[in-house]
């Protein structure tokens, strides 16, 4: 697959009828919030723009619920367009075409769908699932000028109010609702509040599907607790056709209260920097539908 300006492109089942496209942009793109357009076609046909209202910005996924092409077929394909700078829409970079099943064969994609369906049931609260919000760490964009020191190889400070220790302005992308399931600690333990300024030495182990992908440095907030956990280590579990589809163990550490990131995310709020972010979760040609995993 020719990824062009993207370092990663993946397609995964979002539920029985929809697919989630996820991507990551190469580090060479330094614009703070480049835009992405998704195109789809039958092989040999004309490309159709799937997000005609506006390029997708400040997000790294899109959910395809297009009912004009029902069923899973190997003769349909996508491609992505990157607009590095939304103020200059005349400059675009493209990925190559890739099949509707992404990195999987049709048979592999069906196996993944079954695995994710089963795991989704375990993520519900009655099976120990905990609702929360994931904030992906920014990996591209302008370097923070508040705390980054070029003489220290771009070192940054976790007390910086502008990058929150990531070294990139803004620090994190808008939140994505996401359930996780505890491996070692019961969900009641995370509901216990501690005094502000308490040490952030609490580690928890979780599990969940590997879509969307998590990365070391991402943040997860359990809903209603005000606690922010940082992803440290990811251990893959089930693998299909060489691609991990479940995380066997996600190790996270609670960040100490008092860091500037708590001012940004608030006390257990479902904060997103841009409320217009809803357009990335529009199921095309259907009513708006909120994904919950």
Instruction: List, for residues 57-74, the tens digit of each pLDDT value.
Output: 877 889 887 655 556 666
SS3 state of residue 204:
strand
**pLDDT greater than 70 at residue 12:** yes
Neighbours of 149 (CB within 10 A): 11
Rounded distance between C-alpha atoms, residue 81 and residue 69, angstroms: 21
pLDDT higher at 37 or 30: 37
pLDDT higher at 129 or 162: 162
pLDDT number for residue 30: 66
Q: Give the chain's domains with CATH numbers.
A: 6-115 (2.60.40.10), 119-279 (no CATH)
Instruction: List, for residues 216-271, the tens digit of each pLDDT value.
Output: 999 999 887 778 999 999 998 889 998 898 898 999 999 988 888 888 775 444 44
Rounded distance between C-alpha atoms, residue 113 and residue 96, angstroms: 25
Q: Is 57 left (phi over 0), alpha (psi -120 to 50) or beta?
A: beta
* Nearest alpha carbon to residue 85 among 121, 62, 55: 55
Containing 119, the helix (H) or strand (E) segment is: helix 106-123
pLDDT number for residue 118: 81
Instruction: List, for residues 88-104, the tens digit of each pLDDT value.
Output: 656 778 999 999 888 88
Rounded distance between C-alpha atoms, residue 234 and residue 123, angstroms: 18
Burial class, 271, CB count within 10 angstroms (exposed 0-12 / middle 13-18 / buried 19+):
middle
Report angle CA 57, 58, 62 to the nearest 5 degrees: 65
**pLDDT greater than 90 at residue 25:** no
Instruction: List, for residues 132-173, the tens digit of each pLDDT value.
Output: 899 999 887 788 888 866 555 555 678 888 888 888 888 898
Phi, psi of 205, rounded to the nearest 5 degrees: -120, 130
**pLDDT greater than 50 at residue 289:** no
**pLDDT greater than 60 at residue 292:** no
Residue 279: DSSP 8-state: G
* Nearest alpha carbon to residue 34 among 75, 70, 74, 86: 86
DSSP secondary structure letters along 225-258: T--EEEEEEEEE--EETTEE-EEEEEEEEEPPTT
**pLDDT greater than 50 at residue 186:** no
pLDDT number for residue 249: 92
Average pLDDT in the chain: 76
pLDDT higher at 222 or 192: 222
Annotate 57-78 with b (16+ C-beta within 10 A) or e (fewer). bbbbbbbbbbeeeeeeeeebbb
**pLDDT greater than 50 at residue 199:** no
**pLDDT greater than 50 at residue 194:** no
Containing 283, the helix (H) or strand (E) segment is: none
């Amino acid at each position: 697959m020719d990824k062009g300006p993207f370092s990663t492109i993946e397609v995964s089942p979002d539920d029985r009828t929809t697919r989630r496209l996820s991507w990551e942009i190469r580090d060479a793109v330094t614009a703070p919030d480049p835009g992405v357009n998704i195109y789809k076609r039958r092989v040999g046909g004309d490309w159709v723009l799937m997000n005609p209202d506006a390029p997708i910005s400040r997000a790294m996924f899109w959910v395809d619920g297009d009912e004009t092409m029902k069923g899973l077929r190997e003769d349909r394909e996508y491609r992505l367009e990157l607009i590095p700078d939304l103020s200059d829409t005349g400059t675009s970079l493209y990925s190559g075409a890739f099949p509707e099943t992404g990195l999987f064969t049709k048979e592999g994609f069906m196996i993944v769908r079954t695995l994710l369906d089963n795991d989704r049931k375990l993520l519900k609260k009655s099976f120990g699932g905990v609702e929360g919000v994931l904030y992906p760490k920014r990996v591209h964009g302008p370097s923070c000028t508040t705390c980054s020191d070029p003489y220290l190889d771009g070192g940054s400070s976790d007390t910086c109010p502008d990058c929150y220790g990531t070294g990139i302005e803004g620090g994190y992308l808008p939140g994505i609702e996401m359930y996780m399931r505890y491996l070692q600690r019961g969900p009641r333990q995370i509901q216990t509040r501690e005094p502000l300024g308490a040490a952030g030495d609490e580690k928890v182990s979780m599990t969940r599907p590997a879509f969307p992908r998590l990365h070391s440095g991402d943040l997860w907030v359990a809903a209603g607790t005000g606690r922010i956990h940082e992803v440290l280590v990811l251990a893959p579990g089930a693998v299909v056709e060489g691609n991990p589809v479940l995380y066997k163990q996600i190790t996270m550490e609670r960040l100490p209260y008092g860091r500037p990131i708590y001012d940004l995310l608030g006390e257990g709020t479902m904060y997103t920097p841009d409320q217009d972010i809803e357009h990335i979760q529009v199921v095309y040609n259907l009513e708006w539908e909120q994904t919950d995993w």
